[in-house]
A and B are shown apart, each in its own frame.
Chain A
Amino acid sequence: MSIVELHNVRKAYDTKIAVHNLSFKIEPGSMFGLLGPNGSGKTSSIRMMIGITVPDSGTVTLFGQPFDRKNLIRVGYLPEERGLYKKMNVLDQLVFLGQLHGLDAATARKRSLIWCERMEITEAIPKKTEELSKGMQQKIQFIASLLHEPDLIIMDEPFSGLDPVNATLLQDTLVDLRKEGKAVLFSTHRMDQVEKLCDEIALIASGHLLLSGSMREVKSTYPRNRVQIAFEGSDAFLKHPAIAEGKNYNGLAEIKLAPSSDLGHAAQSILAEALSMARISRFEVMEPTLEEIFIERVRSHESAANFASRNGGNHAA
């Protein structure tokens, strides 16, 4: 049974179509990355999953049942635009939000205290929310979305504005929750985090689904044509004829190989040349990073869309 399933979902606002026939599934115990540039329809899609808005057509299935508001208390949502009552005391606020998700006051209070300890913000408990730092407020919001032990956790840009220590704390918490069998949906444009954390991804741009599937599948459709070499010495090897594009970032060469029937051999010959002029501390052949895939797919989608719109008039005639 999928936790969430979107089937041919479409949503149009006054001036533009926010989501075009979008379909994807999220399985229990998985981390799902919903990727896309700003304004691509990520938030619109999430809002339809949790009933803030209703799709114009298509269906949303939650926990194997057609969408029903009573299932929403099994969802935890961290919105991109954080919002807490500024004047409210932290504990009261957490208890209130917990109660809205169906907890009784005593349970909500008990769990809030446990979570504050786990998130290392016990000193914030008696304070008013407006007295806290931005990072602390974010942790409060994070706790608020998890108090009711949801089966589906939706995190819209959860790490933005957090320092590395706190980002890691949240990240590890989410990994633990996935181990417990919860499904986690990430919406972000930070590809490095997605690459590290997610098993499944869906990439959308201007409301269209560009690609989806498991991280392994997505990456394996791309050739292993990237080479990274960490070196000390001359970078003249970057002129090797098998290199389509090569950049030197302070002793880290990032190389894109020219199309070839034997990429492995090309990589070896570059390594041999590099060894002749520099000390090599690391050498790796790999698929393009998710970031590169993302940029490439979004660009080609945009140019195709521009092309289509430019030629649209001719087709109609």
Chain B
Amino acid sequence: MLHNTLLIARREYVERIRARSFIVMTILIPTLLGGVLWAVGLATGKSRSDVTIDIVTPAVGMADSQFGADLQSELATHKHPKITANVVAQPADGNRDKLDAQLKRGDIDGYLWVTPPSAGHTHIGFEWVPKSKSYLSAQNELADAIRIVLVRESLTHSGLGASDIAFVMSPIDLDSTQADKKDSADAAQASAYGLFFIMYFVILFYGMNVARSIIEEKTSRIFEVLLATIKPEEMMAGKVLGVGAVGLTQVAIWLLAATALSVFGLAQLGSDLSFKLPVSNMIYFVVFFLLGYILYSGLAAALGAMSNSEQELQQMNIFLMLPLIACNGVVFQVTSDPDGLLAKVFSFIPLCAPLIMYVRIAVHQPPWWEIAISIVGLVATILAVLWFAARIYRVGILMYGKKPNLPELLRWLKYS
């Protein structure tokens, strides 16, 4: 009866959603991930906010006093990050105390000390003094801008007209469609990794939860009461559905939060880190996630019914973990060569298919019939696993004390 299965599933769902551990997990995991991203962003440069610098040019001795102003206007065209520059005259005595004090106070993020060419040096000297070493991207932009300004100046000196210079210096128009493709391939790879790990983690975690909750009912003997009205199959189905719905809720919360953040907040991080996911990809994710979860939770239910305690379950967990660990081992190879032999083989092994086939689809759409074979194989395996698990479950749940050996398990399969 569907009614009973839904009752069991609903109880499982409500109790789990209310549990403190669910709330903690839902908040903690993205916070940790976000923290790591933030730390990485911090290390690679203070790229998210505007940078203010002083360009310190000598009052005299500079061949072209225009340099400061030219650099300032050139910097204004650069956007990553946005650098606001002020041109200041060098103190006559070359004393930098005032600048250093400004730096310390945080009025400026750094200053560029320009030394004119002198007897010993034919080139202009540049000294970049940032507030901290983390201004890597600002430093790159600055170097670019200086080069452009210097080239432009020397072209002017060699007598080229302003329009010719503008023409020579105009940005090269790369084939932008190709560039876009490259961009989105990177983004696809990144989001494929992200979702691979979410799927990996949720399947493992919630699969284990199914097994653990079966053991809990076994040790608390609650199932004696339940089995007096409902069938073991209904009980198992309810459990798998209920726990799975919790997992899906959690993933949904994470994805929604990630989308919202990337729209409102993370936009400042620059487009590299924003969260992009095409709708078709999302649908594949949900399909493969559900199939993978049902497969693993069915196996976990059988393992749970066979065990008498958490400790016994721990020993059997390796059967669940091994294929997942294997997927983890090959995922990088698969993303770099999504149509290679390794990727193809793993995407047809049912226990690995949900993860690996999904990654292949996310990185580079494989032919439709490969996806179809993978899904058909997966569904067939799921049906077999559920049949097997239901039989193990209905006998195992009533057995205490002794761990069954293989011949006993085979005999369980024959019981009606």
Select one of B7, B15, B223, B225 contacting A87, CB under 8 A: B15
* Distance of B220 from chain A, by nearest CB (Å): 5
Select from chain B the residue with minimum beta-carbon distance to A73: B229
Q: Is A24 part of the contact surface with B, judged by Cβ < 8 Å?
A: no
B416 contacts A54, CB within 8 Å? yes
Nearest B residue to A43 by beta-carbon distance? B224
> Once the chains bind, are B225 and A77 in contact (CB under 8 Å)?
yes
A86 closest partner in B (C-beta): B220
Residues of chain B at interface, number, CB under 8 A: 22
Q: How far is the CA of A1 from the CA of B227 in the complex (A)?
A: 26
Q: Is the CB of A100 within 8 A of B15?
A: no
Bound CA span A179–B416, Å: 39
A100–B7 touching, CB < 8 Å: yes
| B133 adjacent to chain A (CB < 8 Å) | no
Consensus secondary structure, chain B interface = helix
Contact A81 B221, CB 8 Å, known A87-B15, A96-B7, A100-B4: yes
Given contacts A14-B411, A88-B15, contact A79 B224 (CB under 8 A): yes
List B contacts of A34 (CB < 8 A).
Answer: none
Q: What are the residues of chain A within 8 A of B223 when measuring CB–CB?
A: 83
Closest to B213 in A: A85
Q: Is B11 an interface residue (CB 8 A)?
A: yes
Residues of chain A lying within 8 A (CB to CB) of residue B222: 83-85
Interface residues as binary, B206-237 with A (CB distance below 8 Å gives 1, 0 otherwise) = 00000000000100111111111111000000
Q: Which residues of B contact A51 (CB under 8 A)?
A: 228
C-alpha spacing A52/B226, complex, angstroms: 10
Does B398 have its Cβ within 8 Å of any Cβ on chain A? yes
User: Is the beta-carbon distance between A100 and B224 smaller than 8 angstroms?
Assistant: no
CB atoms of A75 and B228 under 8 A apart:
yes
How near does chain B come to A275, taking the closest CB pair, in angstroms?
A: 56
A-contact 0/1 string along B1-19, CB 8 Å cutoff: 0001001000100010001
Interface residues of B in 294-312 (CB under 8 A from A): none
Contacts of B398 in A (CB 8 A): 52-53
| The one of A52, A75, A85, A145 that contacts B220, using a Cβ cutoff of 8 Å | A85
Given contacts A14-B411, A145-B225, 11 further A-B contacts (CB under 8 A): A52-B224, A52-B228, A52-B398, A75-B228, A79-B224, A83-B221, A88-B15, A96-B11, A97-B225, A100-B229, A141-B225
- Taking a contact as CB atoms under 8 Å apart, the answer to whether A72 and B229 are in contact is yes
- 14 A–B contacts from the bound complex (CB under 8 Å): A14-B408, A14-B411, A52-B228, A52-B398, A81-B224, A82-B221, A83-B217, A83-B223, A83-B224, A85-B15, A87-B15, A100-B7, A100-B229, A145-B225
